[in-house]
Amino acid sequence: MITLEVSSHRTPLGRVQMALREGRLCTLTLDESFPPFAWQLERRFPACSTRTRGDAAARVKRVLDAYFAGNLAGLDSLAIDLGGSDFQRAVWKALRAVPAGETVSYGTLARAIGKPHAARAVGAACGANPIWLVVPCHRAIGSDGHLVGYAAGLERKGWLLAHERGLRGEHRLGAA
């Protein structure tokens, strides 16, 4: 039976819940996410147990805190366990190659993985991303340069991009 280390952590975007398998981050969700955290775990790991103590989650929390404090490269150091199909993993790998603060269109991502006509499927893979911040799907945008399609909300997507560009003061979460 698989044992997952689970924990939660407060971030500027809200409380997140995480699960790690053998020290690798496999799920990261916001509290109000749909589908809910427990459902995601049950779907991916139908026969698992959980524990709340461990060093791996503490490390992820330190990396998240550092990211929100400005160390944008720290997320790249996290060991991850994504699951997913070959296509999804190709999309997620391409997303991790997009530098912090930069953006790429879904069509450009499709071409980068050798599937030039699969922009919509790339969008679906972004939507299925189990660790939305570490695999930075917030960096994927529409072909017209607009922010589109973010499960955590377009306001958060904009906030993350502004944060990565060093513009935190110019884009406050919750500001009108």
- Residue 176 pLDDT > 50: no
Q: Are strands 140-141 and 104-105 parallel, antiparallel or unpaired?
A: parallel
> DSSP label at 170?
G
Strand runs labelled E in 31-113: 48-51, 104-105
Q: Which residue has the higher pLDDT, 114 or 50?
A: 114
Task: Compute the 3-state secondary structure of the chain and give helix, strand, coil in percent, each to the nearest 5.
Answer: 40, 20, 40
- Residue 34 pLDDT > 70: no
Active site residue 48: no
- Residue 95 pLDDT > 90: yes
What would the pLDDT profile of 110-162 be if each residue is shown by its tens digit?
A: 999 999 999 999 999 999 999 989 999 999 999 999 999 888 889 999 999 99
The domain 2-77: what is its CATH number? 3.30.160.70
What would the pLDDT profile of 64-75 be if each residue is shown by its tens digit?
A: 999 999 999 899
> DSSP label at 80?
B
- Helix (H) or strand (E) run with residue 15 in it: strand 14-21
| pLDDT at residue 175 in the model | 45
In the chain, domain spans: 2-77, 86-170
The domain 86-170: what is its CATH number? 1.10.10.10
Active-site hit among 26, 48, 126, 137? 137
